[in-house]
Structures are given as C-alpha cells and as structure tokens.
Amino acid sequence: MKLVPLELRLPRRSGSLRAQVEAALLVHGRPLRWAITGVESQAGQPAELLCVEAVLIAHGDGVAGSEDPSA
Amino acid sequence: MSAAPLPTLLVIPTGIGCAIGGYAGDALPSARLLAAASGCLITHPNVMNGAALYWSDPRIHYVEGWGLDRFAAGALALRPVRRQRVGLLLDAGIEEELRLRHLQVADGCRATLGLEIGPVVSTDVPLDVSLELGSSGASWGRLGRPDALLRAGERLRAAGATAIAVVARFPEDPESEALAAYRGGSGVDVLAGAEAVISHLLCDHLGIPCAHAPALSPLPPNPALDPRAAGEELGTTFLPCVLVGLSRAPDLLAWPPSPAAVTAGVGEWLRPEAIGAVVTPAGALGGAAVLACAERGVPVITVANPCVLQVSAEALGLEVLAASSYAEAAGLVLALREGIAPASLARPLPSLLAV
C-alpha cells in the first residue's frame, strides 16, 4: 500500500460535483483526501474544468503526478 | 428560553493559508462564538489546535477531517463520550530527547488535566514524512511508510486505546522562506497537508478518533512573530491541544446504524440529518464536507476569509448565505437556530412574486 498524490483536470458535468470527482479519482486509487482547488474556463468549450488535488491510497504500482483528460 | 441547539459544522481547510484559521489554532475564538450561537459545533483539529493552547467546550465536538467528511455525507454519526482513552503513537524517527519531551507532555496532561492517556507505541520503522505543495499553493504531503503507521495504530487499538494521538517526525528547514512567511503571518502552513494525510489515513483504517502533532526542534525566538503563529512557540511540542481535543472527541459510528446499535440506543447520537448549517471560507467551497452539505440542502454560510484558493459559490454554482466575518456568520447561525429567515434581516427586502 502506498499514498499517491494526484492532480486532475476534469470537464465539469451536470449533477453532483462530489460524485464526479470521486468517480474520477477512483480510477487511480481510493481517495483519502481531495479538494476542488480551482475552476477554469476552456477557450471555445462550454464545459469548465475542475482542478482537483488529491492523495489516494493505492495498492501495487499507483500512478502519481498530473493528468489532464482534456488534452 | 433558547431554541434547541442547531448542529453546525465549521470547516476551515488546513494548509490553504486562511487569514483566520491558517495558523496555530487562530480560529478558536471564531469557533467559540459559533458554538455559543449554535449550541452545538462540530469542527476539526485545524480549527482547535493551538499547540500548547487549547480550549475545551462541551458544545464543541472535535472531529478529524476524515470523520467530518463522512458525517457531512450522511455516512457517520457521532456519539458524545465522557472521555476517551487516548493512545500515543510515536514515530520511530523521533530523536530520543524529543521523544522524552512528548512523553513528559503526555504525563503532564495526565497529572494536571486528568486525561486518560496510554498506552504508548512506537512505529517499527520511521514514517518518512515528506512535504509538498500542490499547483494551487495548498500544502499536501505523504508518508513513505504508511504501513508502519497502520501497524502501530492496530497495536494501540488492540491494547485498549479508543482514540489515537500521532506524533510524526517532520522534516525541518529553519531557514526556509515558507517558514519565515508563516511565522510572519503571510504564508501557508507547509506542515498542515501532511498532517491531514496522516490523521485521515489512521481514521480511515481504524474508524476511531485520531489527530496529529508534528515533532520538530524548537525554533529560535523571532521578534517579528505573528500573534496567530505564537501558540506553536510556547513549548517544546505541539501535543497538548491534540490530547485535550481527543480526550472528549465523539465516537465515529456507521450511519445508518446497525440493528444491534438501534437496540442499544442511538438517542444521544449526533445524526447527520440534524446538521443545520455549515460555515466555511468563501474561497474554499470545493472540499468533500461542504459539497456534501450543499448537495443535501444544508445551508452553507460563507465567510470572507482570504486564502490561496478561489473556489467560490459563483465558481461552483452554489447558493449560499454570505457573511463578511465570523461574527456575522454567528448571527446567521443564531437566526437559523431561532427560525428567523436570514433574508428578512437584509435590505432591500424584495416583494413576493406569485408563481
């Protein structure tokens, strides 16, 4: 088991913000602590980006670092 | 006669440089005021911990952030207790002299405050704490050996501890600009994020109240020390406030309760559906507890309390009651407690519209 820091940028969708953040984090590990730390507009895109910083609990080879799914 | 208490959450996220609550327990006066206004305040160690300084108020419930998030989400209830038996978990990376200081603080709290503390367990290897800053400027951190923390916690729980105070050796850089800024009252607490990770991890694993104090060597006196940081420079450890806070921290219990718990009685439990308001900095609405409350229809009171984040109600599309200070927020909490519509307290008061 190890603790993995992760930064994500998620296109904002309708519905529960908490649920969409936790679902996105679960792909990488079990969220231990997280927060939306920014909301950014995307040029030419209707959806805003949620900037999320988190620490996850990962078993085996966790993925650390940053990820930008809009890229 | 006062109205019934209105259970209120006070959230001031740690490690984001809040002007109030970003230092050494400097949100405690605000917490005391909100406790008086609400009659029941649930808040977390970052608000209450002033190292050698603390305040014990039966209306204030000390709940680490992991439990607070789940309470807000409706997954935990809180059971007030007369006392906890606080186990002391020491990082094997703490030097002998510093370790002795912590043991003597625990003895002092037993002798002078009457707290039940023990047993004491050391990790089998150093925890290897590291500090980090996120892109936002918020402090984070991690442990090289989380497994050692959890093993030690399991030993304490098996030995009868009902709550755990953790002391981890933190890295030091007494010449750093970040530390100078913090002591001068203008920076982020770079230790705070790692502290929260440690206590969250232990609470998550054991399901009992836990909180953390960093072990650090004393700093030389600084004549320009900001009053908000002064609580951390009065003694040789940050442990007294943690022991006092945990000594009456409520038990964390699964919600909805099991049939066995219902049979035993849940009448005294603080239930998540009883939460009447959450108070939080206006720029820090993106945490799990505040979002859970907003999604459950709990009134969110935002307070002008500058920090490094700008995650506002407008940015997230949340409806909130805005206050310019914690004193104003206390007035709003009191209004909610007394059943007074907050909108009726402001002018202009628009006419009703037919739907």
pTM over 0.90: yes
Distance from CA of A71 to the nearest CA of B (A): 18
Residues of A in contact with B146 (CB under 8 A): 1-3, 57
> Which of B142, B284, B295 is the closest to A16 by Cβ?
B295
* Res B267: pLDDT: 85
Shortest CA distance from A65: residue in chain B: B134
Mention every residue, 6+ apart, whose C-beta is less than 8 A from residue B314.
Answer: none
Mention every residue, 6+ apart, whose C-beta is less than 8 A from residue B71.
Answer: B9, B42, B63, B77, B78, B252, B270, B272, B275, B289
Residue type at A53 in one-letter notation: E
User: Distance between CA B260 and CA B253 in Å, rounded?
Assistant: 12
At B338, is the pLDDT very low, low, confident or very high (cuts 50, 70, 90)?
very high
Q: Which two tokens stand for residue B99?
A: 């370790």
Q: Quick one: how far is CA A20 from the chain centroid? A: 9
What is the per-residue pLDDT across B278-327, written as a single tens digit (0 to 9) for each?
999 999 999 999 999 999 999 999 999 999 999 999 999 999 999 999 99
Residue B174 reports pLDDT greater than 90: no
Sequence length of chain B is: 355
- Helices B96-113 and B239-247: crossing angle in degrees, nearest 10, is 40
Residue type at B158 in one-letter notation: A
Residues of A in contact with B284 (CB under 8 A): 35
User: Distance between CA B182 and CA B137 in Å, rounded?
Assistant: 13
Residues of A in contact with B66 (CB under 8 A): 32-33
Residues of chain A short of pLDDT 50, as ranges, are 64, 68-71
Do B142 and A55 lie within an 8 Å CB cutoff? yes
Beta-carbon count within 10 A of B98 CB: 20
Q: Tokens 């990376």 — which residue?
A: B93
Q: Does B314 touch chain A (CB under 8 A)?
A: no
Do B134 and A55 lie within an 8 Å CB cutoff? no
Residue B173 reports pLDDT greater than 90: no
Distances (CA, A) of B15 to B11, B12, B134, B136: 12, 9, 10, 11
Residues of B in contact with A38 (CB under 8 A): 136, 309-311
What is the per-residue pLDDT across B71-82, written as a single tens digit (0 to 9) for each?
999 999 999 999
Do B204 and A5 lie within an 8 Å CB cutoff? no
Residue type at A43 in one-letter notation: A
Closest CA to B288 of B204, B184, B183, B176: B204
Residues of B in contact with A68 (CB under 8 A): none
Residues of B in contact with A51 (CB under 8 A): 135-136
Interface test with B, best of A9, A55, A59, A67 (most B CBs within 10 A): A55
**What DSSP character marks residue B325?**
S
User: Distance between CA B67 and CA A30 in Å, rounded?
Assistant: 16
Q: Where are the domains of chain A?
A: 2-58
At B1, is the pLDDT very low, low, confident or very high (cuts 50, 70, 90)?
low
Shortest CA distance from B137: residue in chain A: A37
* Res A64: pLDDT: 47
Distance from CA of A26 to the nearest CA of B (A): 15
A to B CB pairs, distance under 8 Å: 83
* Residue B128: half-sphere exposure toward Cβ, Cα within 13 Å: 10
What is the per-residue pLDDT across B185-238, written as a single tens digit (0 to 9) for each?
988 999 999 999 999 999 999 999 999 999 999 899 999 999 999 998 988 999
Residues of A in contact with B150 (CB under 8 A): 1
Q: Tell me the pairing of strands B251-254 and B129-133.
A: unpaired
Alpha helix (H) residue ranges in chain B: 28-38, 45-48, 65-72, 96-113, 146-158, 177-183, 192-206, 239-247, 259-264, 288-295, 313-316, 326-338
What is the per-residue pLDDT across B15-53, written as a single tens digit (0 to 9) for each?
999 999 999 999 999 999 999 999 999 999 999 999 999
Q: Tell me the pairing of strands B210-215 and B85-90.
A: unpaired
Distances (CA, A) of B197 to A61, A63, B21, B242, B309: 19, 18, 18, 16, 19
Q: Which two tokens stand for residue B121?
A: 């367990």
Q: Which helix (H) or strand (E) holds B167?
A: strand B163-169
What is the per-residue pLDDT across B32-41, written as a single tens digit (0 to 9) for each?
999 999 999 9
User: Distance between CA B317 and CA A12 in Å, rounded?
Assistant: 12
Q: Tokens 């300084």 — which residue?
A: B53
CB B212 within 8 A of CB B76: no
Do B309 and A38 lie within an 8 Å CB cutoff? yes
Q: Does B200 touch chain A (CB under 8 A)?
A: yes
Q: First and final CA of chain A: distance in angstroms?
A: 30
> Which of A2, A50, A66 is the closest to B146 by Cβ?
A2
> Which of A17, A33, A66 is the closest to B197 by Cβ?
A33
Residue B335 reports pLDDT greater than 80: yes
Distance from CA of B263 to the nearest CA of A (A): 32
Do A35 and B201 lie within an 8 Å CB cutoff? no
Q: Does B315 touch chain A (CB under 8 A)?
A: yes
